Amino acid sequence: MNPRLSIGILGSRGIPNNYGGYEQFATELGIRLVQKGHEVSVYTVREHPVQDPFYKGIRRILIKNPETDLGTFGQFLYDLYCNRDSRKRGFDIILHLGYTSDSVWYRLWTGKSTHLTNMDGLEWKRSKYNRYVRKFLLYAEKLATLKSKFLIADSFPIKDYLEKTYDKPVRYLSYGAVIPSSFKEDHPKALHLVPGQYDLIIARFVPENSIETAIQAKISADDKIPLVLLGSDNPYKQKLLKKYGTHNSVRFAEAVFEKEKIDSIRRYSRFYIHGHSVGGTNPSLLEAMACRCNVIAHNNPFNRSVLGNNAFYFSNSKDLSVIFKNKKEDDFLTCRETNLEKIKNHYHWDIVCDAYEKLFYEALYSSAPD
């Protein structure tokens, strides 16, 4: 029988999810690891709306996040504080979620703990960064590959890239999703949406998520069914709101984090547009698949590695406009059912958790990666 592990998870804004993919990942993985008998701690911003010391058996270590006052530089300080605190905890395993503002603090990675890094996507390719930031992110990526005992990639294209670039073995471990047991039409109606009569994007408002591309496609298609954009406020969202907010076919809405609500909003959309163009396997895509959405995805290796032939793809606004004009829900029937089977048999959180637990034991007791 394998011993109980003490596991620290760094690199997210914490649990329960009130922000995005890493936070959902930490929540789902942490809950299941606790159920397996492990001791799990997730570093969480002190400014989180939930202040309880535990969440479903997971210890929440609250750390001040200076990002509100200092902007991006505050992320580095938050990760510094988390890494500094982790030194005194004596974790068996420390799982780092991403490397962008974390790997520079590798000198704080005590030898008492075994460090693994989920490498996420190709952060240095994100268009929102200037060339100096991109150069730094490439450096941070390299540090993470050198200082982590194991590297984890959530998609095969990312795994291939890392192995070819750094000549170091990388483990593929996917993200997961939960298949909802039921849906309620009341949730989209609360946003004044008619079930089946809206198209949907759920994403952070950043250029590489193809949000403006989708808006332009919707306007070009002269499609009366509105495009609903759910995401937290930021300067880019305000820019798009100012530019397109008066169009009847485009609706901006605040982010929704309550799982029952967001799943129902997904389920009753006509088309779900997944515009993420940089990164690995995106959790929101898996959740859309679990909700049996009619997925239209940006055409790139990351999305294709998950969806295969079970989606319609676009590379630009013209492609997407044609889909808006010509495709109907019935065209997605086989896609919906096949994607649901993928969630059941591959991207299920229970399967993901088992794989992480196995890797944790291997990392703790092996002298080096295979």
**Where, residue-wise, is CATH 3.40.50.2000 in the chain?**
6-176+348-365, 186-345
CA distances from 100 to 14, 48, 136, 305 (A): 16, 21, 9, 24
3-state secondary structure of 306: helix
What is the CA 54 to chain-centroid distance, rounded? 23
Q: Which of 326, 297, 296 is nearest to 221 (CA)?
A: 326
Backbone angles phi and psi of 269, in degrees to 5? -75, 155
Tell me what pLDDT residue 131 has.
Answer: 81
Tell me what pLDDT residue 134 has.
Answer: 82
Count of C-beta atoms within a 10 Å radius of residue 160: 15
The token pair at 243 is: 């530019």
Q: Which architecture does CATH list for 186-345?
A: 3-Layer(aba) Sandwich (3.40)
Place of tokens 């004596």: 90
Tell me what pLDDT residue 370 has.
Answer: 46
d(CA 312, CA 88): 50
Question: Is the distance from CB of 79 to CB of 101 less than 8 angstroms?
Answer: yes
**Per-position DSSP letters for 150-210, written without gaps between them:** EEEESSHHHHHHHHHHH---EEE----B---S---THHHHHTT--TTS-EEEE--S-GGGT
260-283 exposure pattern, b = at least 16 Cβ within 10 A, e = fewer:
ebbbbbbbbbbbbbbbbbbbbbbb
Q: Which residues contact 183 (CB under 8 A, 6 or more apart)?
A: 263, 264, 267, 268, 291
Tell me what pLDDT residue 277 has.
Answer: 87
Q: What is the pTM of this model?
A: 0.87
Q: Which residues contact 367 (CB under 8 A, 6 or more apart)?
A: none
Question: CATH for 6-176+348-365?
Answer: 3.40.50.2000
Tell me what pLDDT residue 69 has.
Answer: 83
Tell me what pLDDT residue 71 has.
Answer: 79
Q: Which of 312, 294, 307, 284 is nearest to 196 (CA)?
A: 294
Alpha-helical (H) ranges within the chain are: 21-35, 67-70, 72-86, 131-147, 156-166, 186-190, 211-221, 235-244, 259-267, 283-290, 301-307, 317-326, 333-345, 349-365
d(CA 182, CA 199): 20
First to last CA, the chain: 23
Cα-based angle 71, 214, 153 (whole degrees, multiple of 5): 60
The token pair at 216 is: 């332009």
Tell me what pLDDT residue 367 has.
Answer: 61
* Cis peptide leading into residue 169 (ω within 30°): no
Identity of the residue numbered 96: H
Q: How many CA atoms lie within 13 A of 190 on its CB side?
A: 10
**pLDDT tens, N- to C-terminus, the chain (370 residues):** 789 999 999 999 999 988 878 999 999 999 999 999 999 999 999 999 999 999 999 999 999 999 888 877 889 999 999 999 999 999 999 999 999 899 999 999 987 899 999 997 666 666 667 788 888 888 999 999 999 999 999 989 899 999 999 988 899 999 999 999 999 999 999 999 999 999 999 998 999 899 999 999 999 999 989 999 999 999 999 999 999 999 999 999 999 989 899 999 999 999 999 999 877 788 899 999 999 999 999 999 999 999 999 999 999 999 999 999 999 999 999 999 999 999 999 999 999 999 999 999 999 987 655 4
